[in-house]
Homo-oligomer: A and B are copies of this chain.
Amino acid sequence: MAISFDDVTSINPIAPGRYAAQLDAAWTIGGRPHGGYLLAVLGRAAITAGEHPHVLAVSGHFLHAPVPGPVEVEADVLRAGRGASQVRARLVQDGRGCVEALVTTADLGSAQPYWTGGLAVPDVPGPESCMRVPGRTPLGMAVPIMDHVTVQLDPAVTGFATGRPSGQGQMRGWISLPGDATFDPLSLVYATDALPPATFEVEPTGWVPTMELTAYVRALPEPGPVLVQQHAHLITGQRVDETAYVWDCTGRLVAQGTQLAGIRLG
Contact = CB atoms under 8 A, between A and B. Distances in A.
A123 to B, nearest CB: 17
A84 interface: yes
Contacts of A3: none
A113 B7 CA distance: 42
Nearest to A90: B78
A112 interface: yes
A191 to B, nearest CB: 16
Given A219-B236, A258-B258, 13 more contacts: A56-B260, A57-B211, A59-B59, A59-B61, A59-B212, A63-B81, A78-B100, A86-B100, A102-B102, A114-B235, A116-B234, A216-B260, A256-B258
A231 interface: yes
A192 to B, nearest CB: 11
B79 A97 contact: yes
A28 to B, nearest CB: 22
Interface residues of A, number: 58
A104 B211 contact: yes
Interface string A80-101: 0100101010000000010011
Contacts of A141: none
Given A86-B100, A218-B234, A237-B108, A117 B57 contact: no
A109 interface: yes
A218 B233 CA distance: 11
Contacts of A57: 61, 211-212, 260
Nearest to A64: B79
A150 interface: no
Interface string A108-141: 1101111111110000000000000000000000
Interface in A154-176: 167-169
Interface string A52-68: 00001101010110000
Nearest to A245: B233
A241 B212 contact: no
Contact of A61 (B86, B211, B235, B258): B86
Nearest to A243: B243
A265 interface: yes
A115 B202 contact: yes
A232 interface: yes
